Chain A
Amino acid sequence: VQPPEKPLQPEEWNKLREDLQLPEMFEEVMLNSMIRCNSPIDVAKSLLSDLAKRNGDIAYNVLVKYLTLCVQQGQVSEIRDVYDIMKARFKVLEGGAYNLLIRGLSNSDQWKMALTLLEEIKKIMVPSRTCYESCVKAASRHQEMKLAFELYKEMLAKDVVPTLDVLQSFFDFSRGLKGAELQKELFGILFYLRENQIYPHKTFMRSIKLWFESIPGENWRGRLTKIKDSGQCPVCNHQLEDSKLTGEEYSKLSERIISDVIHGTDTFRKTSPKEFEAFQTFVEKRLPFDIVIDGLNVSHIKSRKMQCENLLDAVNCLAKENARLLVLGRKHMLVNSSNWKREIMKEMQNKADFFFAENISEDDAFLLYATLRSGEHCRFVSRDFLRDHKACLSNSLTRHLFRKWQRGHQISKPKCFSSVFSQQPAFCYDCVVQTTGDTWHIPYKDVFEEKYSYQVPRKWLCIQQK
């Protein structure tokens, strides 16, 4: 439907209404297309006037549509009028209308009213994150940083996750401002990024950089860089935090893996208590391992080769480095078949320890257990992302720990296959926002959306104080 370009007379609306043959939906359809085409507000007004004259009332959803149009065009006085009418007509409003009202008002010079509206919402429900976003942005735009931070903290307290936009606006609007309190709050945001393993995108990173450089009298300087594989920053020669978990974190993670991933609701789902016990005693006897290999996963690396050959290649190449290996597999690998030759299996068993799980058991769970049990130095080889095991962990904190540990300990593409795959080593440094007081290192994403959760950015912002 093409909305008219000018306000129409009631007769003309009538005619259009008849043409469309949708008597009940007409206003909605018309207003929707007006929103799409960003029609002049007077056209919508004439439609509403016609409607009011016909029915003596205007339905709530039509009012909301009109409000959308007003907000889209920033017609502040209209927004206020609509709000007055809605407020008088209905006892409470629903979230959609509040979102629109707050968005519309916060962008205007009447932004204080958005704050009173926010208070009003809080009486009946938890405000949405867009509501908070608009209010925080409005407050920081008007340099009321204290208020903005109060709202931000309230948001976190209510488990409303702030968008990166909100966080960025803090840095944008505090540029050039001085104050120890403010600086502390902004550092707080950087710590929030660190704790939740959030990576800022390029524009956000730029805002951070500019803010640091704008602090009067502190002489910060930011440079974009790439961190060496050794974990050293080429700009300031500072060694980044290593990816080791603390002792406490480590034991917490192993505990959770055993209880959530291996046992879960029912030990029989992934293994059986008898099998798990047998595995535990097996591992305890031969501890510690240096590398644990997911046999079945590795055996599928090259589809042209026999599965046991693939595994043999991997074992040979890893055994050269004089490491203690553990290969996890399933019992069917022991049965002589076209893919699993008995002689080759024998040969491998001389070079590495093998544990064969039942055919219907999950070998990944054993992989995690054996690696964790062997200690911090132990790595594991698998191309599996282990997402389903991560999902079994019951709280987000342990999931973060798991991902961090995984980054540091998983070798997904072993060296020996470098002809086919590029090598992706386990990182020896931790890829999070970090500081030493006079330096900050902030990893950032080149693109706006991080595509895969397992990928970590390779680009960094190095900020140091001179």
Chain B
Amino acid sequence: MQSANMLLRKIVRSSVLPFAAQHRMKKDLFPLSRTLSFSLCLKQDKSCEPSEKLDLDEWKKVMKSGLQEEVSETVSEPKELSGLAAARETVEMWRLAGKAVPESISEEQLKTFMECPSKSAKKKYLKYLYLKEFHKKNYKRKMDEKRQRRLEAQDEASKTDETKKSPFLCFWSSTMDKAYNWRAAQSMIFGQPLVFDMSYEKEMSVREVTNTVSQIVLSESCNRRSVDPFHIHFCNFKDDSLYHREFVKSYREAWSKLLITVTDQCYTEIFPKDKLIYLTADSPKVMKTFDHDKIYILGSMVDKSIKTGVSLARAKRLGLETAALPLEKYLLWSSGAKNLTLDQMMHILLTLKDTADWKKALEFVPKRKYCDFVNKPVKELRKTLDLINTLKFEKGREEVEKQFAKNYPKKYKLK
């Protein structure tokens, strides 16, 4: 019965209406369709009643019936929730409501969550945790797959069981490390100093400090791997500061063995003032060439809340020379702030030091931030652009005049 009904519906929906539309006047269509669907409705009701009627509130019964046992369990629990438990409950409800919330949350994270000053801060923090968890899981899954594949490969290798002979020794990463460390050690004696100014802790949030440290770790590693490394100085570095704790967290034991100079002194106390150049995007002066005799200073600061002029103020206070990268001169900037990350700066400086080639160095500026390289200075480019535009305009004018002449022959003239 029901299938017949379905069939009927299908027929009505798919063929009758267009058929009717084709063969009747448009104004007749509406009453027709209405009666059709109405009669269909009647038919369906009739056909449903004897076999099975839909119980629309059935879900309520199901939901309530499943609860009886649970309710008896929860009665014994204390009704008032303590702060942490309540927070955990809220987080759980947000997760059920489909917000970006991590599945597991530690006590410490929960405390941070509760300390967030506003609802949006809370949401942001949970989203951050959620993404972190997501990436971690993904990474773990990938590693598991890799391990699986390796095991399989090993199985196969053991089957063939063939001893490989190679004329070279296997070049282990520890050997590489030794070579890098040798270079870094040399740089500590003969290398050009590069200063990281670690005096911005007060200006940053905890997250920003963490980001700063991870950027510095990246820069340090790329420096170590370069052909001619800088001698890195961490100046104004206070023991037991947030920076310090974060460094220990990411380097662990290696922290005390790093081939860099860490000091709580200011760079002005270590180096002659006239040799120092503070690199800051706010500087009015633009760097023309990389000077091998100067000591460049980078501010170890991640600035997510747009505090302009902080590092420029620092340089002004100490009366130091400042410089900014010539980004405008070489790149057609499209969007994004002109301040780069510390590892990008390190890459750029290392390349400049080795090659003195601005184009090569500025390849490390993120691609999303600029449209293209300019070979000529932008000013000249703009001039040619203007020239092209005026030419175009004049050409357009000529064409307009021609058109005009065609339409109004001889009678009028366009001035």
Task: Compute how far the CA of A112 lies from the CA of B287 in the bound complex, rounded to whole angstroms.
Answer: 70
Q: Which residues of B contact A95 (CB under 8 A)?
A: 119
B189 near A: Cβ within 8 Å? no
Q: Which of A44-52, A192-200, A365-373, A375-383 contacts B (4 or more CB under 8 A)?
A: A44-52
Is A359's CB under 8 angstroms from B90's CB?
no
Task: Compute how far the CA of A124 lies from the CA of B82 in the bound complex, rounded to whole angstroms.
Answer: 10
Task: Compute how far the CA of A51 lies from the CA of B56 in the bound complex, rounded to whole angstroms.
Answer: 12
Task: Compute how far the CA of A269 lies from the CA of B67 in the bound complex, rounded to whole angstroms.
Answer: 63
With A92-B86, A124-B86, A124-B90 given, is the CB distance from A49 to B55 under 8 Å?
yes
CB neighbors of B among A1-33 (8 A): 6-7, 9, 12, 28
| Residue of B2, B52, B81, B316 with most partner-chain A CB within 10 A | B316
B62 near A: Cβ within 8 Å? yes
Is B63's CB under 8 angstroms from A360's CB?
no
With A46-B56, A49-B56, A85-B64 given, is the CB distance from A125 to B90 under 8 Å?
yes
Is B63's CB under 8 angstroms from A93's CB?
no
B50 near A: Cβ within 8 Å? no
Contact with A along B10-43 (1 / 0, CB 8 A): 0000000000000000000000000000000100
Q: Which of B92-100, B138-146, B262-270, B337-345 contacts A (4 or more CB under 8 A)?
A: B92-100
With A88-B67, A125-B90 given, is the CB distance from A61 to B310 under 8 Å?
no
Is A52's CB under 8 angstroms from B56's CB?
no
Number of A-B contacts (CB under 8 A): 105
B274 near A: Cβ within 8 Å? no
Is B63's CB under 8 angstroms from A57's CB?
yes
Chain A proximity of B403: nearest CB distance (Å): 31
With A52-B58, A61-B98 given, is the CB distance from A88 to B64 under 8 Å?
yes
With A90-B93, A359-B284, A360-B312 given, is the CB distance from A45 to B57 under 8 Å?
yes
Q: Which residues of B contact A42 (CB under 8 A)?
A: 56
Is A53's CB under 8 angstroms from B63's CB?
no
Task: Compute how far the CA of A144 lies from the CA of B67 in the bound complex, rounded to whole angstroms.
Answer: 38
Q: Which residues of B contact A88 (CB under 8 A)?
A: 64, 67, 71
Interface SS of B by simple majority: helix
Is A58's CB under 8 angstroms from B96's CB?
no
Is B63's CB under 8 angstroms from A49's CB?
no
By beta carbon, the residue of chain B nearest A50 is: B59
B258 near A: Cβ within 8 Å? no
A64 near B: Cβ within 8 Å? yes
A186 near B: Cβ within 8 Å? no
CB neighbors of B among A384-432 (8 A): none
Chain A proximity of B334: nearest CB distance (Å): 24
A451 near B: Cβ within 8 Å? no
Is A57's CB under 8 angstroms from B93's CB?
no
A184 near B: Cβ within 8 Å? no
By beta carbon, the residue of chain A nearest B94 is: A94
Q: Which residues of A contact B2 (CB under 8 A)?
A: 9
With A64-B97, A97-B97 given, is the CB distance from A91 to B59 under 8 Å?
no
Interface SS of A by simple majority: helix
Chain B proximity of A181: nearest CB distance (Å): 35
Q: Which residues of B contact A52 (CB under 8 A)?
A: 58-59, 62-63
Is A60's CB under 8 angstroms from B310's CB?
no
With A48-B59, A49-B55, A57-B66 given, is the CB distance from A268 to B314 under 8 Å?
yes
Task: Compute how far the CA of A53 lies from the CA of B309 in the bound complex, rounded to whole angstroms.
Answer: 64
B206 near A: Cβ within 8 Å? no
Task: Compute how far the CA of A67 lies from the CA of B159 in the bound complex, rounded to whole angstroms.
Answer: 63
Is A270's CB under 8 angstroms from B309's CB?
yes
B89 near A: Cβ within 8 Å? yes
B257 near A: Cβ within 8 Å? no
Is A269's CB under 8 angstroms from B309's CB?
yes
A122 near B: Cβ within 8 Å? no
CB neighbors of B among A240-279 (8 A): 265-270, 272
B169 near A: Cβ within 8 Å? no
Contact with A along B67-98 (1 / 0, CB 8 A): 10011001000000100001001100110111
By beta carbon, the residue of chain B nearest A5 is: B37
With A45-B59, A46-B54 given, is the CB distance from A56 to B96 under 8 Å?
no
Q: Which residues of B contact A57 (CB under 8 A)?
A: 62-63, 66
Task: Compute how far the CA of A89 lies from the CA of B93 in the bound complex, rounded to whole angstroms.
Answer: 12
B391 near A: Cβ within 8 Å? no
User: Within the complex, which residue of B67, B89, B308 is in contact with A89, where a contact is CB–CB below 8 Å?
Assistant: B67
With A46-B56, A88-B67, A92-B86 given, is the CB distance from A56 to B312 under 8 Å?
no
By beta carbon, the residue of chain A nearest B91 is: A94
A81 near B: Cβ within 8 Å? yes
Is A89's CB under 8 angstroms from B90's CB?
no
Chain B proximity of A265: nearest CB distance (Å): 8
CB neighbors of A among B92-140 (8 A): 93-94, 96-98, 119
Chosen A-B contacts, 11 in total, with CB atoms closer than 8 Å, are A9-B52, A49-B58, A52-B58, A57-B66, A60-B96, A61-B98, A85-B63, A92-B90, A125-B90, A265-B310, A359-B284
Residues of chain B having any CB pair with chain A under 8 Å: 2, 6, 41, 44, 52, 54-60, 62-64, 66-67, 70-71, 74, 81, 86, 89-90, 93-94, 96-98, 119, 203, 284, 307-310, 312-314, 316-317
- A sample of 12 more A-B contacts (CB under 8 A), given A53-B62, A93-B93, A268-B313, is A9-B54, A12-B6, A42-B56, A49-B57, A49-B62, A53-B58, A57-B63, A60-B97, A85-B60, A125-B90, A269-B308, A269-B313
Residues of chain A having any CB pair with chain B under 8 Å: 6-7, 9, 12, 28, 42, 45-46, 48-49, 51-53, 56-61, 64, 81, 85, 88-97, 124-125, 265-270, 272, 359-360
Give the 9 A-B CB pairs with smallest separation, nearest first.
A268-B313, A60-B96, A52-B59, A52-B62, A94-B93, A45-B56, A48-B59, A269-B313, A49-B58
